[in-house]
Amino acid sequence: MSNPDRIAWADVEPRVDIAAVATNLLGPAEGRRSAELLWRCPWHDDRKPSFSVNPTKRRAFCNPCGLSLDAPALVMRVLGIDFPSAVCFLAELAGVTPPPRKPPPSPPRDHADFARDAYHRLWTPAGRDARDYLHRRGLADETIRTARLGFAVHPWKWEGKRLKLSVPAVTIPWFDRGAVPRIKIRRIDSDVDKCRSLGPSKPPLLFPDVRIVAGATVAIVEGELDALLLGQALEGIATVATLGAAQAEPNAAILERLIAAKAILAAQDADEAGDKAAAMWTALRRSIVRVRPPVGKDWGDVHTWEVDIRRWWIDRLEGDANPPLFAWAELSSWRWGPSRDDRLGGIDFKPPKSIHAEPDRPDDQTPAPLAASEPSPVHAPSAIVTPASGPDHLFAIETCKPTNYCGR
């Protein structure tokens, strides 16, 4: 090794088994053709395994994509890392003594570049599953493009320094005055262990990077995709944002951005963590109002249940000049029952055929049955809680300029 600080590819190359590299990155081979191992290509819509790895030639090929990759190129392409990091990764894998200074595959240093690559990849055939995932979450192409969402195969599970699993994931860039300080990475193949973050989780930022105009109605939700979904549904009615997690507390800078808002609605998930987060917000200011998703756990669930979200909000917030004041206990007892007020409960909740399971609910409730075959519609119970002295004018929504989504 010529440079003690840096591992040279020439030193690693003879020890690298490209089939082992591909297995590490892509999982077990899906087929074999004489000496070649076959996978479905990660970069095009591949029905039959056409991504081949030839250990003798020490290269990986995909004809439809016109690819011929050596081991470092394969690692760089799958993990989105630079050449030196790829060589370090291969050295680790081959058992070559690593250099004294790091790194195995580090997240790309420049988040903006990573986000941009992922954004472009989303709209290639390789991004089809990710696009399908985002569409299932209710996001329109325009929303996806405006938020610069992307697709990446991301290193996920490690055993020591060895990569055990890389997964297909959606990338969600957080913009802040033109920079990308954080990227949330949400895997699309599983709801378990579903998120990673590049960049610091503190200090709190607002997603999307919205400008909150004077007099705006602002809804705070838990997750980025919910913020985009609700922002899309409420365009022109309310600005929707998240701090990225239920428990994230707004710092002074965020409160300053929110100060122009006429009304703030705590629209976190309908579960214990969401209620707790909402309680934290409503305690900040008496005028902050809790709005619980009417079915399921979050706004993604509400979409899945084919509720017209925009209409639901307008019914709740605009059509009711004199809203009743609900207590928490009252709310939870209503949530699964029929509405006491048909004018409020005008939306029929018919679960789509694909849904058979009941949505999550807090354990202390006895829910009304919500079977998929339920013939009579379950009406939307009212889900607005106001503080005991909540001013009624909060519910009159003025149209504000749509400031949703990031401004790039």
Nearest distance from C-beta of residue 128 to Zn ion, angstroms:
12
Asked if 62 touches Zn ion (CB under 5 A), the answer is: yes
Part in contact with Zn ion (CB under 5 A); list of ranges 52-60, 63-71, 251-259, 327-335: 63-71
Q: Which is nearer to Zn ion, 31 or 64 (CB)?
A: 64
Query: Distance between alpha carbon 299 and the CA centroid of its chain, in Å?
Result: 13
Q: Does residue 344 bind Zn ion (CB under 5 A)?
A: no
**111 bridge partner residues:** none
Which are the contacts of 202, defined by CB distance < 8 A and separation ≥ 6?
none
Figure out which of the listed residues 18, 21, 53, 65 binds Zn ion, where binding follows CB under 5 A: 65
User: What is the total count of residues that contact Zn ion (CB under 5 A)?
Assistant: 6
By beta-carbon proximity to Zn ion, the closer residue of 129 and 330 is 129
Give yes or no for residue 41 binding Zn ion (CB under 5 A).
Answer: yes
The tokens for 405 are: 């989504």
Minimum CB–partner distance for residue 34 and Zn ion (Å): 20
Please identify, among the stretches 58-66, 224-232, 333-341, 353-361, the one whose residues bind Zn ion according to the rule CB under 5 A. 58-66
Asked if 53 touches Zn ion (CB under 5 A), the answer is no
Minimum separation from the CB atom of position 207 to Zn ion (A)? 33
Stretch that binds Zn ion, among 56-64, 93-101, 104-112, 211-219 (CB under 5 A): 56-64
Using the rule CB under 5 A, give the single segment among 12-20, 41-49, 86-94, 158-166 that binds Zn ion: 41-49
Nearer to Zn ion, 64 or 215 (CB): 64
- Least separation in angstroms between CB 23 and Zn ion: 18
- Minimum distance from CB of 18 to Zn ion (Å)? 16
Q: Pick between residue 63 and residue 251 the one whose CB is nearest to Zn ion.
A: 63
Give me the least distance between CB of 166 and Zn ion, in Å please. 17
Binding segment (CB under 5 A) for Zn ion, from list 26-34, 39-47, 154-162, 256-264: 39-47
How far apart CA 57 and CA 150 sit, in angstroms, is 33
Which of the stretches 65-73, 75-83, 201-209, 335-343 binds Zn ion when contact is defined by CB under 5 A?
Answer: 65-73
Among 40, 44, 297, 310, binds Zn ion (CB under 5 A): 44
Q: Does 26 bind Zn ion (CB under 5 A)?
A: no
Chain positions contacting Zn ion, by CB under 5 A: 41, 43-44, 62, 64-65
